[in-house]
């Protein structure tokens, strides 16, 4: 990319440098700079990226995108000054996206975005050279950086996350998807948004950047998404297990280590196998297959793509310990929907089922009610033992105990780890799940070290 293109796209000013100089790659992290990169100086809560401009040049950066040039920095390299580096990064990414000939698929939802992205990528890659969001780079910084990795790919699979209204609106207008998918509307971030109706509104912002004639794919088994209708300028495709839809899973079989189901395409039934457990992965597979079919990928290739997809790490990884003890690591994040999905998975296993659960954060005034709902769901699914830690998770414990279930609450992760190591035995299946801020990864690591 030429410096003049960056100046034009970012609506910035060249402070010093050569408009015809060429750069490759963007990063906001000086530790990841390779020669020829553009360093994007971003002011954060605790650190100001502008203080690292000299280090960026020393590391080999060819250009810097910044909001100001500190007085102590001598003009060097290519320095582009913009009003806001985060917004400018989005403008540059939009420029690259629109200049490309790639098909763009955008995904959002309360839960399942990353795993659905992984599955869509696997399906789309059966026919097209494809770029995807790495990890959960799905915000105002991560999404543009994903698009700016574009080289000559024929498709991009882009994840979009949000905490508030108008955030998906910004992201979708950067990515300009040809196809958009909403996995579900749950309770994640309900503390900030106030209601599931507002969450639906926030997720539906994805159509604001949808290309003319594009397609929105939704899971119509979700009560909120079932209300979505086709709109002006875009088509609607529905997937489901229970409700009438364009692509429906029939004959669903849920096993400990996989799921299978049939879909009817062109009047013929096809078996689909998903080699990770959980009903939620059936929905993910349906979204991926529907998008594959929209892109002209054969049903056979769609099925093969689903069968061979690779799940992003830390998304309910299953860890085998000695003595046939399984640990289901769901420590990356948690909300009501992902909690229930994980409980469904552990409920399918034989042997003693132990749920180790911590707080679901960002629920605001809904916190007690939703934690108690988790407790009631544990009883419904007949989980054998429930261990909780955290102020809000006490409500899970209390609900289980009130229903005569077996539960114990702890004041710290250390107390929990000591007890858990003292009571597990051969064949146990242990779900460990809570919001990332609860540091349950420490519990997983302790179990691995001790077993």
pLDDT tens for 29-50 read 999 999 999 999 999 988 999 9
Same fold, 3-83 and 317-450: no
Cβ-proximal residues to 188 (8 Å cutoff; 6+ apart), any chain: 110, 111, 199, 335, 337, 362
Is 318's pLDDT higher than 90?
A: no
pLDDT of residue 450: 80
Mean pLDDT throughout 209-235? 94
Six-digit token string for 416:
């929990």
Is 183's pLDDT higher than 70?
A: yes
Is 315's pLDDT higher than 80?
A: no
Mean pLDDT throughout 8-27? 97
Whole-number percent of the chain with pLDDT over 70: 99
**How many Å apart are CA 208 and CA 108, to the nearest integer?**
13
Q: What's the angle, vertex CA 218, arms to CA 213 and CA 222, rounded to 5?
A: 155
Mean pLDDT throughout 80-104? 97
pLDDT of residue 111: 82
Taking each helix axis from N to C end, the angle separating 394-402 and 367-380, rounded to the nearest 10 degrees, works out to 40
pLDDT of residue 316: 55
pLDDT of residue 313: 57
Delimit the domains of the chain by residue range: 3-83, 100-307, 317-450
Sign of the Cα pseudo-torsion (96, 98, 100, 105, in order): positive
Backbone φ and ψ of 407, nearest 5°? -150, 160
Six-digit token string for 46:
């605790």
Question: DSSP letters of 126-188?
Answer: TTS-EEE--TT--STTHHHHHHTT-SS-SEEEEE---SSTTHHHHHHHHH--SEEEE----ST
pLDDT of residue 161: 92
Is 322's pLDDT higher than 90?
A: no
- CATH code for 100-307? 3.40.1190.10
Taking the CA atoms of residue 151, residue 109, residue 290 and residue 285 in that order, the dihedral angle to the nearest 10 degrees is 100
Classify burial at 272, counting beta carbons within 10 Å of its beta carbon; exposed 0-12, middle 13-18, buried 19 or more.
Answer: buried
**How many Å apart are CA 39 and CA 53, to the nearest integer?**
8
The CATH superfamily assigned to 3-83 is MurE/MurF, N-terminal domain (3.40.1390.10)
Encode pLDDT of 259-293 as tens digits.
Answer: 999 999 999 999 999 998 889 999 999 999 999 99
pLDDT of residue 80: 98
Q: What's the fold here for domain 317-450? A: 3.90.190
Location of structure tokens 């105002």: 140
pLDDT of residue 187: 86
pLDDT of residue 323: 86
Encode pLDDT of 383-405 as tens digits.
Answer: 999 999 999 999 999 999 999 99
Encode pLDDT of 332-384 as tens digits.
Answer: 888 999 999 999 999 999 889 999 999 999 899 999 999 999 999 999 999 99
Nearest to 358 by CA among 328, 389, 330, 327: 389
**How many Å apart are CA 432 and CA 329, to the nearest integer?**
5
**How many Å apart are CA 368 and CA 336, to the nearest integer?**
12
Whole-number percent of the chain with pLDDT over 90: 83
């Amino acid at each position: 990319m030429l410096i003049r293109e960056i100046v034009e796209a970012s609506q910035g000013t060249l402070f010093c440098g050569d408009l015809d100089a060429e750069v490759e790659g963007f990063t906001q992290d000086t530790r990841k700079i390779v020669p020829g990169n553009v360093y994007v100086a971003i002011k954060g809560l605790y650190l100001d990226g502008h203080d690292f401009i000299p280090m960026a040049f020393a590391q080999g950066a060819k250009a810097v995108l910044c909001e100001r040039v500190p007085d102590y920095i001598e003009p060097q390299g290519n320095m582009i000054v913009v009003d806001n580096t985060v917004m400018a990064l989005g403008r540059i990414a939009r420029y690259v996206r629109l200049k490309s000939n790639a098909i763009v698929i955008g995904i959002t939802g309360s839960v399942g975005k990353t795993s659905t992205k992984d599955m869509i990528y696997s399906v789309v890659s059966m026919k097209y050279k494809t770029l995807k969001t790495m990890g959960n780079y799905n915000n105002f910084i991560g999404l543009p950086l994903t698009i700016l990795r574009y080289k000559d790919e024929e498709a991009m699979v882009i994840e979009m996350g949000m905490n508030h209204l108008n955030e998906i609106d910004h992201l979708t207008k950067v990515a300009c998807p040809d196809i958009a998918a909403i996995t579900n509307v749950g309770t994640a971030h309900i503390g900030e948004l106030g209601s599931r109706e507002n969450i639906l509104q926030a997720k539906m912002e994805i159509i604001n950047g949808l290309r003319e004639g594009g397609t929105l794919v939704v899971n119509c088994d979700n009560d909120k998404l079932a209300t979505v209708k086709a709109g002006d300028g875009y088509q609607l495709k529905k997937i489901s297990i229970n409700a009438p839809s364009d692509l429906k899973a029939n004959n669903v079989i849920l096993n400990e280590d996989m799921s299978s189901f049939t879909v009817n395409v062109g009047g013929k039934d096809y078996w689909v196998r998903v080699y990770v457990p959980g009903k939620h992965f059936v929905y993910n597979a349906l979204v991926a297959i529907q998008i594959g079919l929209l892109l002209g990928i054969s049903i056979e290739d769609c099925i093969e793509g689903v069968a061979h997809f690779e799940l992003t790490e830390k998304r309910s990884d299953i860890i085998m310990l000695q003595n046939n003890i399984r640990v289901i690591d769901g420590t990356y994040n948690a909300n009501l929907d992902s909690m229930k999905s994980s409980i469904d998975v552990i409920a399918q296993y034989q042997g003693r089922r132990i749920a180790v659960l911590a707080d679901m954060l960002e629920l605001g005034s809904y916190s007690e009610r939703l934690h108690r709902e988790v407790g009631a769901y544990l009883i419904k699914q007949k989980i054998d033992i429930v261990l909780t830690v955290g102020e809000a998770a006490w409500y899970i414990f209390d609900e289980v105990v009130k229903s005569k279930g077996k539960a114990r609450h702890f004041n710290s992760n250390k107390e929990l780890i000591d007890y858990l190591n003292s009571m597990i035995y051969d064949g146990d299946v242990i779900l460990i799940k809570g919001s990332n801020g609860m540091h349950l990864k420490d519990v997983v690591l302790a179990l691995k070290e001790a077993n």
